[in-house]
Structure formats: C-alpha cells, structure tokens
Amino acid sequence: MNTIGAFLVSQTVLIPLLIGLIRFNRTVASFQPFLLLLALAFISETISYICIKELDTSNAVPFNLYGLAESMVILYQFYIWGFLKRKRVLFIGLVGGLASLWITENLVFNKIEAFSPMFRVAYAFIVVLLSINEINFMIVRDNKNLLKNSRFLVCLGFITFFIYQIIYEASYFVGTDSSAVPLKIIFMFNYINGFVNLIYAIAVLYIPVKEEYYFNKHFDA
C-alpha cells in the first residue's frame, strides 16, 4: 500500500475518536485513558505521515515515542479498570520494566532513530495477556451480552491488534527477500489497524453514561 493509502486507512481512528469526543461529557471516566489513546494514535499517524511524505525522513523517532506513550496509557487503563489496581506491585513492575526496556533499547544503545522491535513485541505480549485476563473475568462475572460491553470490545481490539503487531515485528526477522509471506503480513497490517478501529468505534458507542446524566435524561421534569 502506498503512503497516502496507508495514511487514509490509519485515519479510521478518527471514527471512534470523534464519537468519543461528542459523548465525552456524558460517558464514565473509567474510559478516559482509552479516549486519550485514540487521540495519541491520531497525532502519531499524522506526524508519521508528515515525516515520510512531506519531510522525506524516517518516522522512527515519533513512532518510538508513541510506542512508549501507548504502552503506559494502556497499562493505566487496566489499572483504572481494576485488575492492576488490585495488583499494585505488578503494575509498578510492568511500568518500570517497560520503561527500562524502552530506555535501554532507544537511549542506552542509541537506537531511537531506528525502530525498536524488542520493546514493541514485549509490550504487545503484555497487553494481550492483560486483555485475555480481563475477558476471562468478564465471562465469569458478567452474564450480559458481551458484544455490547465496551470493555470487552476494547480488549478484543487489543488482542487482535497486538497479536498481529507481534507477527508483524517477527516478519522483519524472517527477511522480506526470503519469502512472500512477510511482505503479505506487512501489507495487511494497515487493514488490521482499520478493522480494529471499527471495533473501537462500536466500543465507544457502548461506553456507559454517567449516572447523573442517565438520571437527568430519564427523570428530569
């Protein structure tokens, strides 16, 4: 896919982001980190496009910075949802471990101007495990329709995207000259991104409203 096409597909993140902004004042605060994540993704994709298309330079630096921000926001989202709040030592360990790995790969080894696959694979793997754990908890504790549960949909999007991110990063180690498979994996990444953004859009639509908003809407004279 050419640069413009990839950029346009990546901008499907605007769909859940705009829905979230429109409904921001009436939705519960527990999803605010996720909405921040969508905003960061939009900013990152825009900056990356400008670097590649307009400045004719690598987008590695903003991409690496976004990876660090993305990982921290997602960890905080799971903290807000409760699991990592109950496991504070684990939360601190994950934040400290990922931050240390990012600093080591990008600053100690001075590779911030190159892409950092070790960090991206590590935090993708952690996000997948946290998402699976969250879904298992919801299946056991919640008998409602999970397809209308925002937390379930967000976790489903995380699992889909970050499993593919692991495969995507691994494809570079195979080498694009040795097989057509890595090329297909890299090519499909943008479409996976677009598909997950649509899942996020549905998730944002189902974010619960604040209790006071619900009360005012249904009982205000």
Over its length of 221 residues, how does the chain's per-residue pLDDT go in tens digits?
Answer: 567 888 888 899 999 999 999 999 888 999 999 999 999 999 999 999 999 888 889 999 999 999 999 999 999 999 999 999 999 999 999 999 999 999 999 999 878 888 888 999 999 999 999 999 999 999 888 767 898 999 999 999 999 999 999 998 887 766 545 556 667 777 788 899 999 999 999 999 999 988 665 455 544 44
With beta carbons less than 8 A apart as the criterion, state whether 161 and 196 touch.
yes
Tokens 């605007």 correspond to: 14
Spell out the domain ranges in the chain.
Answer: 3-207
**Total Cβ atoms within 10 A of residue 205:** 14
The amino acid sitting at 136 is: N
Residue 4's CB is within 10 A of a number of other CB atoms, namely 10
Question: Which structure tokens are listed for 8?
Answer: 């346009």
